[in-house]
Amino acid sequence: MGLLSFFDRFRASTDDRSPWGDFWFEPISTRSASGLQVSPDAALRLSAVYACVRILSETMASLPLVLYRNRADGSKDRVTDHWLYPLLFRRPNRFQNPFEWREMLQGHLALRGNAYNQIVTNPRGEIIELIPIHPDRIRIELLRSGEFRYRVTDRFGEESILARGDVWHLRGLSSDGLLGMSPIDLARESLGMALAAQDYGARFFANDAKPTGGWIEFPGSFKDPEAKKVFRESYQAAQSGANRGKVLVLENGMKFHEVGVTNKDAQFLELRKFQITDIARLFRVPPHMIADLDRATFSNIEQQSLEFVMHTMTPWAERWEASIESELLLDGDDLEIEFDFSNLMRGDAASRSAYYQSGIQNGWLTRNEARIAENLNPIDGLDEPLRPLNMVEESDAEDLTADAEAQEAPAQEASEPPDDETAARLQALITSTAERWARRISRAGRIEEKDVDLIAEAFAVPPERVAAWAAGSKDAELTEVGLCQSLTQLGMNTEGMNP
């Protein structure tokens, strides 16, 4: 009886320790100093832990995943004809769709620091399935050669061995490069205290919001220890189970005294609030996202949401992208995996409108690209970017200034032959205009059709004459000097002004 009485002291704060209970079969490392078991599954009893894991998992699963092929000029093309596309974007395995699959793997990473998939290939060596393996059913076995393999235990207790190349292993923060560290194990004491506070609150309200302890004042004394024990057991039987809440009757001048510790004295509510913030800190999730709005304001909640994207989801996305590119793609595949965060960064309608307006007016965004970003169909004629009229490239600034000066110069009457001074000024103006157009055509490498009218306007000659000159110069492969001389000749061959 003494040994059983010793074990009875632990029943209020621990699980069943009877011979048929699970206590004696649990790993020692899962029990915290508070006396409660802290495992990934047990931690999910805390609503804050479940909310954080759910936010991370659902956000990662909802991000669009894009497969790119890089161009030589630095641009990218979306790829849909690679064997990896249907695997990641359509059906990763026969049991799950992509959202469920990514949600599950991110949940494993957030709770256990590791996520595993068995790689199934076809005869050509292409991956056709990625089947998740629960992290609790797999362990790494180091080999003498320095390599490692995986031992997997299925639901029926049968063990199989998988080579390193047969498992896609996603790791969280690791101290040895082989296994990711479990956040739940690292924060075992903090989570154990939160579980203990939660269980205490449940017992407190189950006891009609009264302290569970108390003591009885007896003016006399019991004749022997056995009589004292019989009284204690009879009292507990009369006030527990189905007899809970019944009127207590004491004899022989006995008085019952309740323990005077209240929730306020124990700082119960403050502790519960602190644990929510502590758990949000563990998973790096803004407290307002798990419905803790004590310190949220209109001025900082938007900034906290941006920080969640930049400092929480971006590292997770980079971890996924790097692992997919290094473990699933071949060395010869010039492909890039990228999670698209544009939906998380969309903002409200006013912010998006200002963003599109800035891009369209400055020429780096077309109107159809803005329509597609808003899930609207493109319209014919809106694919060309707009060019701001008040901004030009530095290399064209001199040419446009000179053209404006030429347009402001007074036109010479054709019926009046120019004198020597006027002829010299016109010849200098024509030569300067020819030099500018020679530089522009030389940089472009060809004479554009739109340049015909501009050249005709600059030299004040009929467009037909410029078109004939352009046709004759197309195959001449003139240098910049040759183009300058040819343009000067074109400009000088006008009525009343011969070279």
pLDDT tens, 20-34? 555 555 555 566 777
> Does residue 231 sit in the same domain as residue 362?
no
Residue 495 is predicted with a pLDDT of 45
> Does residue 219 sit in the same domain as residue 272?
no
Residue 4 belongs to some domain of the structure: no
Residue 162 is predicted with a pLDDT of 94
What is the tens place of the pLDDT at every residue in 136-182?
999 999 998 889 999 999 888 899 999 999 999 999 999 988 999 99
Q: How confident is the model at residue 279 (pLDDT cuts 50, 70, 90)?
A: very high
> Does residue 311 sit in the same domain as residue 323?
yes
Rg (CA), the chain: 40
Residue 3 belongs to some domain of the structure: no
> Does residue 279 sit in the same domain as residue 186?
yes
> Does residue 333 sit in the same domain as residue 360?
no
The domain boundary residue, chosen from 224, 258, 292: 258
> Does residue 40 sit in the same domain as residue 148?
yes
What is the tens place of the pLDDT at every residue in 71-108?
887 778 889 888 888 899 889 999 999 999 999 999 99
Q: Into how many domains does the chain fold?
A: 4
Q: What is the mean pLDDT of the chain?
A: 79
Residue 497 belongs to some domain of the structure: no
Helical residues (DSSP H) of 170-258, grouped into ranges = 183-186, 188-206, 225-238
Q: How confident is the model at residue 12 (pLDDT cuts 50, 70, 90)?
A: very low
Q: Which domain holds residue 351?
A: 346-391
Q: What gap in Å lies between CA 258 and CA 194, rounded to an integer?
A: 26
Residue 129 is predicted with a pLDDT of 94
Residue 288 belongs to some domain of the structure: yes
Q: What gap in Å lies between CA 496 and CA 423, rounded to an integer?
A: 10
> Does residue 146 sit in the same domain as residue 69?
yes
> Does residue 402 sit in the same domain as residue 370?
no
Residue 317 is predicted with a pLDDT of 94
3-class DSSP state for residue 146? coil
Q: What gap in Å lies between CA 444 and CA 196, rounded to an integer?
A: 76
> Does residue 127 sit in the same domain as residue 234?
no
Main-chain phi, psi angles of 113, to 5 degrees:
80, 0
Residues in contact with 11: Cβ distance below 8 Å, sequence separation at least 6, in sequence order: 17
> Does residue 121 sit in the same domain as residue 226?
no
> Does residue 248 sit in the same domain as residue 272?
no
> Does residue 175 sit in the same domain as residue 290?
yes
Pairing of strands 148-153, 159-162: antiparallel
Q: What are the CA-CA distances from residue 99 to residues 88, 90, 452, 453, 492 (Å)?
A: 10, 10, 57, 58, 72
Residue 13 belongs to some domain of the structure: no
Largest CA distance in the chain: 146
Task: Let me know: does 111 contact 183? Beta carbons within 8 Å.
Answer: yes
